[in-house]
Amino acid sequence: MKSKNKIFFAVGFLFIIFLLVIFIKPIFEASEKNLENKVAELTLSSNDLIHNYVNNEEKSNKLYTGKIIEVTGFVKQITFLNDTNTIILNSENETFGVICDINSNQKEKIKALKLHQKIRVKGICKGFLKDVILLNCSIDLMTNE
């Protein structure tokens, strides 16, 4: 009887470890993805991205959510709160913008940014609340045109 209990507990313990690995590992991997060398699935301007979401959020969610997209726009705001570096890109619609949560390996590029500077940001689109949200972003500095 005791050997059956030991086997049962060993199998149960291994099963719990297996489940933890399956469910927790992706959380840590997603939070530190380096997209700098990844190819974007779509490329568009911040104006076009906002316009698409405002006009048809359901269709835009299907097109963009969960995908690596590259967005070009002008820096509206730069924030450094709670060890999170965030850039907001302008759009023609003053009510909305693109919030870019910048990957921690981009600190030097963030320090070089100026307001109203044109940049290209690559990140994983998470959808639209009041703004479009991009996570794990990498920055490509551009010259203003």
In a shared domain, residues 95 and 65: yes
DSSP string, 44-57: EEHHHHHHHHHH-H
**pTM, entire model:** 0.73
Residue 36 included in any domain: no
Residue 120 included in any domain: yes
CA distance 60 to 83: 30
In a shared domain, residues 53 and 79: yes
pLDDT at 9: 81
Report, as ranges of residue numbers, the positions in the chain whose pLDDT lies below 70.
1, 20, 23-33, 142-145
Residue 37 included in any domain: no
CB 43, CB 70: distance < 8 Å: yes
Residue 7 included in any domain: yes
In a shared domain, residues 74 and 18: no
In a shared domain, residues 8 and 66: no
